[in-house]
Amino acid sequence: AMMSMYATEINDLNMLLPSPYFGRFTFKKYTDGISETIYIGKKILTDTNGNIISYDWRSPICSVYYDYNIGNAEYISDNQVVKGEILGKRQIVIQNSILKSVTEQDALSNDSVLLKLLSENADSRLKTIVATIQKEQNAIIRSPLNRNYIIQGVAGSGKTTVALHKIAYLVYNEAKNIQPSEFMIIGPNNIFLNYISELLPDLDIKGVTQSTYEDLA
């Protein structure tokens, strides 16, 4: 069991090597006036001393990266509101371990950066949007668990992508209360389930049940 756990962790780290983080912001808390520069990636990375190199995009403090421009910002941690100020924000593009661009951001993500990433990732597979989540999408992904939600939109508008990112968020933040095996993705057919299956490991979603409505019935 230990070997399996370490093998999974090594595999996850190897997947992060081509692009260990995609954003950076500096946040100053009003309570103590201390400024902290935070890098954001798909998963948390630490050095050998346990110091955080980059935060998981699903962590509470990273919500300010998606929700606020430079200036006043706040996030909820342990049911408490933490208020402060964003002093700077950058979007970073790293591909195949090579730094491609660093863009100063006032509002995430400006159209040129977003369109560039979309055009470079245009293929037949569903892709993660963690580097370009918009404020409205972030509100859905981080919405409370005790309500039901219907996401409406035309074909190709990102409904499925946002729903899968919400599962990834819940798997991370509700790990003590909900196991991944308790989630179920119900799709219209097996072609659809195959289409989204490659995105699940990329979002750190493992052990989630997938089924068509016909098979479930």
pLDDT in tens, 16-74: 889 999 999 999 999 999 999 999 999 999 998 999 999 999 999 999 999 998 999 99
Q: Residue 100 and residue 64: Cα distance in Å, rounded?
A: 24
Q: Residue 181 and residue 208: Cα distance in Å, rounded?
A: 5
Q: Write down the pTM of the prediction.
A: 0.84
Classify strands 71-77 and 80-95 as parallel, antiparallel or unpaired: antiparallel
Task: Give per-residue pLDDT as tens, 142-193.
Answer: 998 888 999 988 988 889 999 999 999 999 998 888 888 899 999 999 999 9
CB 33 within 8 A of CB 84: no
- For residue 110, the model assigns a pLDDT of 52
Which whole-number Å values give the CA distances from 71 to 60, 86, 106, 121, 135, in the listed order? 18, 5, 9, 32, 16
Q: Residue 60 and residue 49: Cα distance in Å, rounded?
A: 23
What confidence tier does 94 reach under pLDDT thresholds 50, 70, 90? very high
Q: Residue 149 and residue 167: Cα distance in Å, rounded?
A: 13
Instruction: Give the mean pLDDT of 72-86.
Output: 93
CB 96 within 8 A of CB 18: yes
Please count the other Cβ atoms lying within 10 Å of the Cβ belonging to residue 157: 11
